Structure 1
Amino acid sequence: MFTGIVETIGTVAEYRQLDETESGGYGISVTIEDAGPVLVDCHIGDSIACSGICLTVTEFDSNSFKVGISPETVKRTDIAAWKQGTKVNLERAVSQDVRFGGHYVQGHVDTVATIKSRVADGNSIVFGFKLRDAVYEKFIVEKGYISLDGTSLTVTTIDNDGTFYIAMIKHTQEHVVMPLKLVDDLVNVEVDITGKVIEKQIDLHLQAQIANSNSTLSQLISKIVEEKVSEALNK
């Protein structure tokens, strides 16, 4: 679990496609350097959010660490666009003494979004984004949380076409990678898990109600159908 409060910015030092003869074949091996602040208490197997992607440390030293990335993660994220020199946000998994300054971030990226606009507003920057997969638009709400490249941000407004906006203050600009990106670049998106949990609970409840002929919902549906059939027969 993460908070979406970026600790430091790392740099991709090596990006290598694995072949079928190697462990994790057809995946990608990435080494990230300039990562000292998140490695002071690191252990093999620890989770580090890399631009919002929860990845497992397989090797490390005082300045860099290595992770393996599966094809599924590549499909969901912007990792295919990474190369040597790419800057990434880094955050360690939370410990029991961490102040929860952001929001509950799993590090399980749902999809990517394209930066559609970036406009200065005083010393802030207002970014506009459009999701690649519209199915996640229902989980993005005005004044709700969203994780973009692992940064906990608040949605300010949403257009009718699903384009959504965030306003990034100067302090955040100085500590995350997004200001380095341009219009048409991609960002990793993790929507707030709360919305997904609520949707799942409602869906399961409705299914159970429909499956039970004695449930309140089933009886209501039957009554409405009977009334409509009766109206049609009496016309």
Structure 2
Amino acid sequence: MFTGIVELMGTVAEYNPQDNSASGGQGVSVTIKGASAILNDCHIGDSIACNGICLTVTEFDKDTFKVGISPETIVRTDVSDWVTGTRINLERAVSQEVRFGGHYVQGHVDTVANIVSVTPEGNSLVFGFKLRDSQYEKFIVEKGFICIDGTSLTVTQVDADGTFYIAMIAHTQDVVVMPLKKIGSLVNIEVDLTGKLIEKQISVALQNQFDDSHSTLNKLIEQIIDEKVQKYLSTK
């Protein structure tokens, strides 16, 4: 679990596609450097969020660590755009000592979005995004949480076409990768888990009601139909 509060930016040192070694994840292996500040308490098997993707440390030294990335993760995320020199947001999994300053982030990226606009607003930058997969638009609401490239942010506006916006203050601009990206670039998106849980609970509850012929919902539907039929017959 993560908070979406980026600890530092690392840099891709090596990107090895089709790495079939034990530490390569049968997909891509990536070595990230410039991470010494978060490796003092690192262990093999620890989770580190890399641009919002929860990845497992398979090797590390004082300054670098290696992760294996599965084919499914590559499809879901912006990993295929990474090259040597790409800057990456990094955050360790939460510990008991961490203040929960962001929001509940799993590190399970749902999809990607394109940056469609960047507009200065005072010393802030307002970024606009369009999702690749529109089925996640229902989980993005004004003033709701969203995690973008591993950064916990607040949605400031949602347009009718699904385009959504966040405002990034000057401090955050200095410590995360998004301002380094250009319009059209991909970002990783993890929508707020709360919305997905609520949708699942409502869906299951409704399905259970439909499946039970004696349920309150079915009785209500029958009542409404009977009333409509009686009203129709009374006009004949």
User: What TM-score does the superposition give when structure 2 sets the normalisation length?
Assistant: 0.96
With over 3 angstroms needed to count, the CA separation of the structure-2 counterparts of 1:104 and 1:26, relative to structure 1, is same
**Separation in structure 1 between the aligned mates of residue 182 and residue 165 of structure 2, nearest angstrom:** 15
**Separation in structure 1 between the aligned mates of residue 25 and residue 79 of structure 2, nearest angstrom:** 16
Partner of 1:219: 219
Q: Verify the 8 A CA contact 1:142 1:155 in the aligned structure 2.
A: yes
Matched, 1:119 2:124: no
Partner of 2:96: 96
Partner of 1:196: 196
Partner of 1:74: 74
Shift of 1:82: 0.4
Percent pairwise identity:
69
Say which SS state the counterpart of residue 94 (structure 2) adopts.
coil
Q: Verify the 8 A CA contact 2:5 2:101 in the aligned structure 1.
A: yes
> Structure 1 counterpart of 2:157, which letter?
T
Partner of 1:149: 149
**Separation in structure 1 between the aligned mates of residue 88 and residue 25 of structure 2, nearest angstrom:** 24
Aligned residues: 234
Q: Which runs of 5+ in 1 are unaligned?
A: none
**Separation in structure 2 between the aligned mates of residue 26 and residue 33 of structure 1, nearest angstrom:** 22
Q: Which runs of 5+ in 2 are unaligned?
A: none
**Separation in structure 1 between the aligned mates of residue 58 and residue 101 of structure 2, nearest angstrom:** 28
**Separation in structure 2 between the aligned mates of residue 192 and residue 25 of structure 1, nearest angstrom:** 27
Alignment map for 1:123-142 (pairs within 5 Å)? 123-142=123-142
Q: Verify the 8 A CA contact 1:17 1:26 in the aligned structure 2.
A: no
> Structure 2 counterpart of 1:197, which letter?
L
With over 3 angstroms needed to count, the CA separation of the structure-2 counterparts of 1:168 and 1:25, relative to structure 1, is closer
Root-mean-square deviation (CA), in Å? Answer: 1.3
**Separation in structure 1 between the aligned mates of residue 127 and residue 162 of structure 2, nearest angstrom:** 14
Partner of 1:174: 174
Shift of 1:26: 4.8
**Separation in structure 2 between the aligned mates of residue 102 and residue 197 of structure 1, nearest angstrom:** 19
User: What TM-score does the superposition give when structure 1 sets the normalisation length?
Assistant: 0.96
**Separation in structure 1 between the aligned mates of residue 145 and residue 152 of structure 2, nearest angstrom:** 7
